[in-house]
Amino acid sequence: MKKRVTLTFPRRAVQMPVTYRLAKDFNVATNIIRAQVAPNQVGKLVVELLGDIDEMDAAIEWMRSQDITVSLASREILIDEESCVDCGLCTGVCPTQALILDPDTYQLKFTRSRCVVCEQCIPACPVQAISTNF
Protein backbone atom coordinates (compact mmCIF):
# COMPACT_ATOMS: atom_id res chain seq x y z
CA MET A 1 0.00 0.00 0.00
CA LYS A 2 0.92 3.68 -0.29
CA LYS A 3 1.25 6.26 2.44
CA ARG A 4 2.20 9.91 2.11
CA VAL A 5 4.13 11.29 5.07
CA THR A 6 6.15 14.34 5.99
CA LEU A 7 9.53 13.63 7.62
CA THR A 8 11.27 16.26 9.70
CA PHE A 9 14.92 15.50 10.38
CA PRO A 10 16.92 16.83 13.29
CA ARG A 11 20.29 18.26 12.25
CA ARG A 12 22.34 15.17 12.94
CA ALA A 13 20.00 12.79 11.10
CA VAL A 14 20.25 14.76 7.86
CA GLN A 15 23.39 12.87 6.90
CA MET A 16 21.70 9.50 7.33
CA PRO A 17 20.88 7.49 4.15
CA VAL A 18 17.25 7.07 5.20
CA THR A 19 15.78 5.98 1.90
CA TYR A 20 18.49 3.36 1.53
CA ARG A 21 17.76 1.96 5.00
CA LEU A 22 14.03 1.92 4.34
CA ALA A 23 14.56 -0.06 1.17
CA LYS A 24 17.17 -2.42 2.54
CA ASP A 25 15.87 -3.11 6.07
CA PHE A 26 12.12 -2.78 5.56
CA ASN A 27 11.51 -3.36 1.88
CA VAL A 28 9.79 0.02 1.66
CA ALA A 29 10.22 2.10 -1.46
CA THR A 30 10.27 5.89 -1.07
CA ASN A 31 9.15 8.29 -3.69
CA ILE A 32 10.38 11.77 -2.83
CA ILE A 33 7.76 14.37 -3.57
CA ARG A 34 9.36 17.42 -2.07
CA ALA A 35 12.64 17.91 -0.27
CA GLN A 36 14.13 20.68 1.78
CA VAL A 37 17.42 19.29 3.02
CA ALA A 38 20.74 21.04 3.51
CA PRO A 39 23.75 19.82 5.52
CA ASN A 40 23.57 20.70 9.23
CA GLN A 41 20.05 22.09 9.11
CA VAL A 42 16.63 20.78 10.03
CA GLY A 43 15.43 19.00 6.90
CA LYS A 44 11.98 18.27 5.57
CA LEU A 45 10.96 15.55 3.15
CA VAL A 46 7.53 14.81 1.79
CA VAL A 47 7.60 11.21 0.62
CA GLU A 48 5.29 8.53 -0.56
CA LEU A 49 6.08 5.19 1.09
CA LEU A 50 5.29 2.04 -0.83
CA GLY A 51 5.36 -1.39 0.75
CA ASP A 52 3.72 -3.98 2.93
CA ILE A 53 1.62 -2.42 5.69
CA ASP A 54 3.43 -4.12 8.59
CA GLU A 55 6.85 -3.34 7.21
CA MET A 56 5.80 0.23 6.62
CA ASP A 57 4.68 0.60 10.23
CA ALA A 58 7.97 -0.90 11.39
CA ALA A 59 9.82 1.54 9.15
CA ILE A 60 7.95 4.48 10.64
CA GLU A 61 8.66 3.17 14.14
CA TRP A 62 12.36 2.93 13.29
CA MET A 63 12.47 6.47 11.87
CA ARG A 64 10.84 7.81 15.04
CA SER A 65 13.48 5.98 17.12
CA GLN A 66 16.04 7.94 15.12
CA ASP A 67 14.44 11.23 16.23
CA ILE A 68 12.87 11.79 12.84
CA THR A 69 9.40 13.30 13.22
CA VAL A 70 6.97 11.40 11.03
CA SER A 71 3.78 13.23 10.35
CA LEU A 72 1.03 11.36 8.55
CA ALA A 73 -0.93 14.49 7.89
CA SER A 74 1.07 15.78 4.97
CA ARG A 75 0.89 19.26 3.59
CA GLU A 76 -2.01 19.74 1.24
CA ILE A 77 -3.12 22.36 -1.22
CA LEU A 78 -6.35 24.15 -0.33
CA ILE A 79 -8.44 26.05 -2.85
CA ASP A 80 -10.89 28.63 -1.61
CA GLU A 81 -13.75 28.20 -4.05
CA GLU A 82 -15.42 31.37 -2.82
CA SER A 83 -12.42 33.49 -3.83
CA CYS A 84 -11.47 31.63 -6.99
CA VAL A 85 -12.58 33.44 -10.14
CA ASP A 86 -11.75 30.52 -12.49
CA CYS A 87 -9.22 32.61 -14.37
CA GLY A 88 -7.14 29.51 -15.02
CA LEU A 89 -3.76 31.15 -14.47
CA CYS A 90 -2.71 28.40 -12.02
CA THR A 91 -3.39 25.69 -14.61
CA GLY A 92 -0.52 26.96 -16.75
CA VAL A 93 2.09 26.53 -14.02
CA CYS A 94 0.89 23.24 -12.52
CA PRO A 95 3.36 20.55 -13.64
CA THR A 96 1.04 17.57 -13.07
CA GLN A 97 -2.30 18.81 -14.42
CA ALA A 98 -3.73 18.51 -10.93
CA LEU A 99 -5.25 21.88 -11.78
CA ILE A 100 -7.15 22.10 -15.05
CA LEU A 101 -10.05 24.07 -16.44
CA ASP A 102 -13.05 21.97 -17.35
CA PRO A 103 -13.16 22.16 -21.16
CA ASP A 104 -16.91 22.82 -21.17
CA THR A 105 -17.61 24.96 -18.13
CA TYR A 106 -14.15 26.55 -17.78
CA GLN A 107 -14.45 25.97 -14.05
CA LEU A 108 -11.25 25.13 -12.16
CA LYS A 109 -10.92 21.44 -11.33
CA PHE A 110 -8.46 20.21 -8.71
CA THR A 111 -7.52 16.54 -8.66
CA ARG A 112 -5.83 16.03 -5.32
CA SER A 113 -4.38 12.64 -6.19
CA ARG A 114 -2.30 14.25 -8.97
CA CYS A 115 -0.97 17.06 -6.77
CA VAL A 116 2.67 16.79 -5.70
CA VAL A 117 2.44 19.86 -3.44
CA CYS A 118 5.16 21.69 -5.39
CA GLU A 119 3.30 24.91 -4.46
CA GLN A 120 4.00 26.64 -7.76
CA CYS A 121 0.32 27.46 -8.10
CA ILE A 122 0.21 29.49 -4.87
CA PRO A 123 2.07 32.62 -6.04
CA ALA A 124 0.49 32.35 -9.50
CA CYS A 125 -3.03 32.98 -8.23
CA PRO A 126 -3.96 36.66 -8.59
CA VAL A 127 -6.69 36.53 -5.94
CA GLN A 128 -4.73 34.49 -3.38
CA ALA A 129 -7.26 31.66 -3.44
CA ILE A 130 -4.64 28.90 -3.06
CA SER A 131 -2.90 28.05 0.21
CA THR A 132 -1.58 25.06 2.14
CA ASN A 133 -3.06 23.62 5.30
CA PHE A 134 0.14 24.28 7.31
Which residues bind to ligand SF4, rule: CB under 6 A? 77, 79, 84-90, 93-96, 98-99, 108, 115-121, 124-125, 127, 129-130
Choose which of 77, 90, 115, 130 interacts with another protein (CB under 8 A).
90
Choose which of 65, 105, 113, 133 interacts with another protein (CB under 8 A).
105
Query: Which among 4-12, 13-21, 39-47, 85-93 is the span making contact with another protein, rule CB under 8 A?
Result: 85-93
Determine the Cα–Cα distance for residues 86 and 131; give it in Å rounded to an integer. 16
Give the nearer residue to ligand SF4 in terms of CB position, either 13 or 116. 116
Q: Look up residue 71 and give its amino acid.
A: S
Give the nearer residue to another protein in terms of CB position, either 18 or 130. 130
CA distances from 132 to 13, 43, 68, 73 (A): 26, 19, 22, 12
CA distances from 16 to 4, 39, 88, 92 (A): 20, 11, 42, 37
Catalog residues that contact another protein under the rule CB under 8 A.
85-93, 100-101, 105-107, 120, 123-124, 126-128
